[in-house]
Amino acid sequence: MNSSARLPDATSELRRVIEQRAVPLGPAYGNSVPDILQAVREHLKMEVAFVSEFVSGQRVFRYVDSSWSRNPVRVGAGDPLEDSYCARVVDGRMPELIPDAQVDACASELPVTFAIPVGAHLSVPIRMPDGSVYGTFCCFSRNADSSLNQRDLSLMRVFADLAGKMIERERTRDKTRHQIHERTLQVLHGNAMHVVYQPIYDLNRAEITGFESLARFASTPALPPDRWFIDAHEVGLGVELELMAMENGLQLLPHLGTLQDLGFNASPETILDERFDLLLAGLDQVDHLVLEITEHAAVERYEEIAARLKPYRDRGLKIAVDDAGAGYASFRHILNLEPHRIKLDMSLTRDIDIDPARRALAAALIHFCADTGCTLVAEGVETAAEVATLIELGVEKAQGYFLARPMDLQTLQHKGELRRTAAGNAPPKSGQVLYSGNAAAQ
């Protein structure tokens, strides 16, 4: 029977081995390379297991698992490829399964066989999806083991195939992260971000009472704005990008009417960053500002956020919880942060005129706002019917493309949407907060 015919049995064996160790399996097993490396080593009763990569004539150890306290194989270390078992296994000079290396004709010629010493040894190539050799998956012990057989070798081959797929995914993920990091830095140090302002209407008075500052990106690739911020947070630059958007957006402050306010978005991570304090501390007044807290995941630091915001709330800063109804997290924010405003997510505003469930949820939030003294703002209004339904329900404020599309400052001034300049609200000088630390240069 050839080795490929044994692979289904080996695959089942690999699954059984991992399940015995209570390692959760997801798609394509879903484990990390170290998890499966340890599982296979323990199943084969070997002392050392490792994954090596072939790099410029060197064998570099990328993953290592061992029960031997004096194991000489270390992650990141390497040695000349030509002096290794690995090179000989890949080019066929040495068998993949060696029960006793010290009596094997090829292995016994290598000094390392007796220096470690090496007894039982299994090694199989790891090939990438394009067929290239990444390196090898190896297990060895200092003692010989005559019980090793082709089934054990088949298990190794299944793992090597799985490891190749995992390593390729990691390479792709690392490449993507690097690309995101670089393009985010280009935005932070260039002029690829600009800000527009979407008017917020008082539905009862049919006039603009405020604006939401929204970032737009001219850089490539062409991604939705929220994707830029999500990606930036994934590579550790989310706070910097949010602060930049805030600084740019605050340029509207000197032009606001006395009854108008400006909303800007910030995640809990940004709120708790010391540079956020520097940003607000540089403003003479904050009573025309609305901080919209944007976070779709659970937050465990509500007390810290409340403490950070209290001095500014005392000075008139208003707090809004964004995207209410988009998920469980937004309701937790409402209960824990005591906002002045709740912004009804566009997923609930959309078709509210024809969907009883959406109307019922909006009505419940309206009653909540009435009981707690906050204001409900509907987002994403796109039809006259939606506006009429919101007014009928008692929603006080709304924004959306039907009412007004986002505009830059010059367009707002040209259209006369800004009323009576509010003195004393000079914005901070561009960059004075964003680059006050060194995080943007990471």
22 pLDDT above the threshold of 50: no
- Rounded Cα distance between 325 and 346, Å, is 9
Distance separating alpha carbons of residues 333 and 227, to the nearest angstrom: 22
Structure tokens at 378: 């509907």
Q: 152-166, 312-326, 353-367, 393-407: which has the minimum mean pLDDT?
A: 312-326
What is the four-CA torsion angle of 403, 408, 410, 412, rounded to 10 degrees? 20
Share above pLDDT 90 across residues of the chain, in percent, rounded to a whole number: 67
Q: What is the mean pLDDT of the chain?
A: 86
The answer to whether residue 332 scores a pLDDT higher than 90 is no
Task: Judge whether 391 and 203 are in contact, CB under 8 Å.
Answer: yes
Question: Model confidence over 23-46: pLDDT tens digits?
Answer: 333 333 446 888 888 989 999 999
State residue 244's pLDDT score. 96
Q: Which domains does the chain carry?
A: 3-173 (3.30.450.40), 190-441 (3.20.20.450)
CA–CA distances in Å: residue 415 to residues 104, 288, 418: 87, 21, 8
Question: 298-307, 374-383, 422-431: which has the minimum mean pLDDT?
Answer: 422-431
Mean pLDDT of 251-261: 91
Tokens coding 361: 């949820």
Going by pLDDT thresholds of 50, 70 and 90, the confidence category of residue 20 is low
The end-to-end CA distance of the chain, in Å, is: 55
DSSP string, 6-71: HHHHHHHHHHHHHHHTT---BTTB---HHHHHHHHHHHHT-SEEEEEEEETTEEEEEEEEES-TT-
Q: What gap in Å lies between CA 236 and CA 255, rounded to an integer? A: 33
Beta bridge partners of 26: 29
Over range 207-217, report the average pLDDT.
95
Over the stretch 300-315, which tens digit does the pLDDT of each residue have?
788 899 999 999 999 9
- Asked whether residue 368 carries a pLDDT value surpassing 70, the answer given is yes
DSSP track, 109-157: GSHHHHHTT--SEEEEEEE-TTS-EEEEEEEE-SS--TT--HHHHHHHH
Q: Is 313 exposed, middle or buried (0-12, 13-18, 19+ CB in 10 A)?
A: middle
Q: pLDDT value at position 419?
A: 64
Task: For tokens 């066989």, name the residue.
Answer: 113
Q: For residue 231, which of 276, 275, 185 has the smallest C-alpha distance?
A: 185
Task: Write down the pLDDT at residue 181.
Answer: 96
pLDDT digits (tens, 9 = 90+) for 218-234: 877 889 999 999 999 99
For residue 109, give Cα distances in angstroms to 58, 81, 120, 153: 20, 15, 16, 23
**Per residue in 39-76, pLDDT tens?**
899 999 999 999 999 999 999 999 999 999 999 999 99
Q: Is the pLDDT of residue 430 over 50?
A: no
